[in-house]
Amino acid sequence: MTTTIALAGKGGVGKTSIAGLVIKHLVSNRKGAVLAIDADPSSNLNSVLGLDLEWTVGDIREGLLEQVKGSLLASGAAMGALPGGMSKRDYLDYHIRASLAEGDACDLIAMGRSEGAGCYCAVNHNLREVVDSISRNYTYVVIDNEAGMEHLSRRTTRDVQHLLIITDPSQRGIQAAERIASFRKEMDIHIENAYLVLNRLSGEIPEAVQRSISRLDIPWVGSIPADEELAELDYKGLPLVQLSEENAVYRSVCTILERVLGA
């Protein structure tokens, strides 16, 4: 059975860094292969993981649509036909599998750029089927989302076991977390559990922040401290998975995951 962990939060709260450390923990401490899905259009989870990225699913999707348009112009063929008779589903399956950035115990798919003009409904349906099919080959899937979680609801998957909503200790971050927590219920997706994670905390949680957290309809599962070692790796452009196993940030992520996943 595949366990899917998704992360969401407003930009700048350290969500992608935490996603990388979640993956580091799963690879180091739990049996089974991990698939990372970068569902943020900025596509920088690969640099956190130290993986090379050549193509994104967005590139593949646009390439498919260009071929379909070319076929329509050339022959008036029905929508969905491709040169050589290949179906859209088979085209996406082949190219997305070829685009996987492969690591020792973690592979990566990057969803990439947003959609352009035109109707993407049929393509998005096929994308979800392909990504779900690939995901079933992994023990864990970790999805780094944009704040709106658009990829979750339209192109990535219909089932998430654990959603980690990341915020920094600011009222704006907590307000964004509250919005994410509320509209998760409106999406065409089943999310079993949702938790709040407080990132980049210096010292104790301020009283005003504690009051704001207590009003949310999701439980707070743990805090992650601000850390100079992690910031130094980031400044140098080095993979954050190089963070030492004794580092306070990494240890906090491990503790949070053990609470979420259980022993």
∠ CA 89-91-95, rounded to 5° = 120
Is residue 113 scored above 70 in pLDDT? no
Give the contacts of 59 (CB within 8 A, at least 6 positions apart): 112, 113
Tell me, what DSSP letter sits at residue 170? S
Task: Give Cα separations from 90 to 84, 100, 157, 207 (angstroms).
Answer: 12, 16, 18, 54
Could you tell me the pLDDT band of residue 71, with boundaries at 50, 70 and 90?
low
Q: What is the pLDDT of residue 78?
A: 46
Exposed/middle/buried for residue 214 (C-beta within 10 Å: 0-12, 13-18, 19+): exposed
Better-predicted residue by pLDDT, 185 or 230: 230
pTM for this structure? Answer: 0.88
Q: Of 3.50.50.60, 3.40.50.10490, 3.90.1310.10, 3.40.50.300, which CATH number belongs to 3-54+100-261?
A: 3.40.50.300
- List Cα–Cα distances, 210 to 23, 162, 169, 205, 256, in angstroms: 28, 23, 9, 6, 18
Does residue 76 surpass a pLDDT of 50?
A: no
CA distance 260 to 19: 14
Q: Evaluate if residue 213 carries a pLDDT over 90.
A: yes
Instruction: Identify the band that residue 101 occupies on the pLDDT scale cut at 50, 70 and 90.
Output: very high
The pLDDT tens digits for 12-64 are: 899 999 999 999 999 998 888 999 999 877 768 999 999 988 888 888 877 77
pLDDT for residue 77: 46
